[in-house]
Structure 1
């Protein structure tokens, strides 16, 4: 039996106890269904495994491989090999796909890539080693090879990598009838499209026609009369995050991609943008925490290396903050309560800074925060920090007085709380904005700087005020 790691239950008799439904109410594959498939594979009953997996959508087949333990994936792939087409690989997690691709020959990978649109084929090939890439490209048809090589020449995470070359483009002197005849008669056209692009003799886009317009317009009408001339054009070197923002802002279903000369070279569709939005949103959250990609299928050595790097950086900043405490060790020795209370000030400042930082990084990522409203954002966060600082300072001051009965200590910690919240609010805006101005991803490095500033200022404000106040003297 294959160890499915799904439950300690005994092996399911796949011939008599097949699950009634593959998916649960959340559209996730049921554990008992996965066990049934893996038990069939372990028993050498490939026909039963294919019968179970065959009705699944390509995305669900991809999920099945992701939910299967890594040692068992090769056996599952051999059992259902005839179901592993390009659409399944296109939906698959990157790390899982790499595991399976490594077991295929260059010719088999080329056959998969030939089934897909250019953007999906590039996604399969781009992460391969250079030698493997060349072998796969040699096995492709010349036209497919040229399209994929051109896509690989563009920067990663750019519109050029994201776009597909398969599109419908017609000249503006055609009539709607000409377009309809072309769509019906040409055998090699792409089958998935929502609009027809209209181009001039230099192949530059001059307009677009939605399919609904073409279907509802008399055949004798000229395309130039029915097309929409205003359209959103995507430069081929635009970052995919900016592409996603344009789709969101203008509610696009698809958009033309143009090269440096303004010629139509591809199109991007909304199904690709959904993946980009999810990917970029997840990346920013994980980068703020220093957790790397956060993919549960990522090899452990990569995860350890990424997390350990940022933990070492944080260790250095923590030692710097501790050195500030060392400046006031005599004051702490005279009044031990300071050591009890000072983590509260630094901790609350860190939390406040993280809140502001998360808001600002999101605003930068979605283009809500620009050079025109940066000052307004700083003022806004300063006011919020002042209100929060005064509220928290009052609460901690009253609480300290109630517990310890020391008026001076209560005033010192209240003032320190206000000061550190103000620092946290300003740092949470200024640090990511400054990094963004220098073309440094604020989601990657901001948290370290903000945490260092709030910890250092929290200790310095609290212990410094205590020393000036003469606590413990």
Structure 2
């Protein structure tokens, strides 16, 4: 949110406040920005955007028509914070970057931290990356090229290459003077790293410790005994888990020789956690991780087709099971009426268990040590709910159709399907994880198949046996 001075600046002569009480952009502001872009009124736009946070700039940029988005950036010039591009959907960001003049991109990249610059560049093809990198200063070009060489979703891709490193023999006074006098320091940093002449990491000292120590004390004397590091090839999700577990604020990144190559800070990790959670949630619904609201209709339809086709095959299998009991269904219409209820309850119960299991596997809370206990717990929960819903649906079936035996049949089916759903919801993700497959992506169709097939077989099979004897 804006401070009072910024809010007054925007309101007095520059336009309305940025957001309403619900946190949405004010329509008046959006209209003023759109009108200023259409009129190519750079002065008006600069007044509207002055002192806006990058997140607010990003939201204003995203609501404009596609053709107006790059025009806005060109008109704003240095007033536009290129960090705002990192807040956009990948599809929107790529389209804007490709439409911008190269010199505009280069000037914007100069002001970014290396991790933000890499985040923007990585979506471009190699030729466009090279064109931009060639126009950057040599040191910046080398740092960005090195980061882009790392595989996606690794610490090397996420790290920023700006950090503060000093030798152990420097005094606290000399270190503080260095921090005051050096121009190109990171915008935010929390630790001073200690390195040897080959830049191998020897430890770290928190800034508050530096400021509280006497000027004559050497950095080596106040070196922390509990410092930590991550490898440049570590998966970003594993790094995020370490931040969460140990409450880190930042972590140095080293290569395979122990040489300090960058630093990851908690603001990067927040983005990683959000991305991984978003990816898992989409995977559970059969949606590709890179699908965005800005994607085209054709891309969305094509990306979802394979998942829907797999679900169609599993649904056909369930239909085959129903076909085996066609005779019983013809004799008693009540079976056809109640059959979807059994399958629906099993599907919902299986999805509940599967969601918990997939999330627990993703966060490493579920493993070899506690797998059996969790399986037993889920089965017991399924049994309790099965008995409860057996009583409920048994009473409903008797009241509805006036057939006492039908209540007993659906009651038994409810117990079986809910226990099967609980077991399928936990055992299928565990098995897929053990086989090296992503449970979030693969579990859904298998769990659905199990619950449908077991539900139909249980209900119709028991009905066939029970009423066949009658």
Question: Which bin holds the TM-score, normalised by the shorter protein?
Answer: over 0.9
Work out whether 1:61 is the aligned partner of 2:64: no
**Equivalent position of 1:451 in the other structure:** 448
The alignment of Structure 1 onto Structure 2 pairs a total of residues equal to 460
Indicate the RMSD between aligned Cα atoms, in angstroms: 2.1
Find the counterpart in structure 2 of residue 227 from structure 1. 223
Change (3 A) 1:188 1:36: closer
3-state DSSP of counterpart to 2:427: helix
Q: Residues 366 and 409 from structure 1, CA distance in 2 versus in 1: closer, same or farther, beyond 3 angstroms?
A: same
**Which residue number in structure 2 is paired with residue 348 of structure 1?**
345
Counterpart CA distance in 2 for 1:86 and 1:20 is: 23
Conserved 8 A contact 2:353-2:422 = yes
Distance 1:71 1:86, change over 3 A: closer
Aligned match for 1:93, one of 89, 95, 110: 89
Distance, in Å, in 2 between the alignment partners of 1:428 and 1:20 is: 51
Distance in 2 of aligned mates of 1:88 and 1:80: 13
Match of residue 406, structure 1, among 403, 406, 409:
403
In the alignment, does 2:310 pair up with 1:313?
Answer: yes
Instruction: Please tell me whether residue 250 in structure 1 is matched to residue 246 in structure 2.
Output: yes
Distance change (3 Å), C-alpha of 1:214 and 1:15: closer
Written as runs of structure 1 = structure 2, the 5 A alignment for 1:7-406 is: 19-293=15-289, 294-406=291-403
Change (3 A) 1:367 1:170: same
Q: Confirm whether residue 436 of structure 1 aligns to residue 421 of structure 2.
A: no
Cα gap change, 1:150 to 1:438, in 2 (>3 Å): farther
Deviation larger for 463-472 or 146-155: 463-472
8 Å Cα contact 1:353-1:451 kept in structure 2: yes
Q: Is the 8 A contact 1:113 1:124 kept in 2?
A: no
Residue 106 and residue 48 in structure 1: after superposition, are their counterparts in 2 closer, same or farther (change >3 A)? Answer: closer
Report the Cα distance in structure 1 between the residues aligned to 2:195 and 2:42, rounded to whole angstroms: 51
Tell me the SS of whatever aligns to 1:139: coil
Partner of 1:7: none
Provide the rounded CA distance (Å) in 2 between the counterparts of 1:379 and 1:46: 66
User: Equivalents in 2 of 1:350, 1:135: separation in Å?
Assistant: 53
- Tell me by how many angstroms 1:431 deviates: 1.3
Partners of 1:22 and 1:191 in 2: how far apart?
25
Distance of 1:172 and 1:336 partners within structure 2? 84
Q: CA deviation at 1:420?
A: 0.8
Q: Is the 8 A contact 2:11 2:17 kept in 1?
A: no
Distance 1:108 1:47 in 2: 18
Cα shift at 1:134: 2.3
Q: Specify whether residues 137 and 446 from structure 1 end up closer, same or farther in structure 2 by C-alpha distance, changes over 3 A only.
A: same
Kept in 1: contact 2:172–2:213 (CA 8 A): yes
Contact 1:172 1:199 (C-alpha < 8 Å) held by counterparts: yes
Q: For residue 16 of structure 1, report the CA deviation from its aligned partner.
A: 11
Q: Please report how far the alpha carbon of residue 19 of structure 1 lies from its aligned counterpart in structure 2 after TM superposition.
A: 4.4
- Cα shift at 1:227: 1.9
Gaps of 5+ in 1: 1-13
Q: The residue matched to 2:365 in structure 1 has which SS?
A: coil
Query: CA 1:440–1:409 in structure 2 vs 1: closer, same or farther (change >3 Å)?
Result: same
Deviates more, 1:196-205 or 1:311-320: 196-205
Shift of 1:471: 5.0
Distance 1:361 1:201 in 2: 46
TM-aligned CA deviation for residue 247 of structure 1: 0.7
Q: CA deviation at 1:18?
A: 6.5
Relative to the length of structure 2, the TM-score reads 0.92
Q: Distance in 2 between matches of 1:104 and 1:152?
A: 21
What secondary structure sits across from 1:166 in the alignment? coil
Asked whether the equivalents of residues 208 and 227 of structure 1 are also in contact (C-alpha less than 8 Å), the reply is yes
1:422 matched to which residue of 2? 419
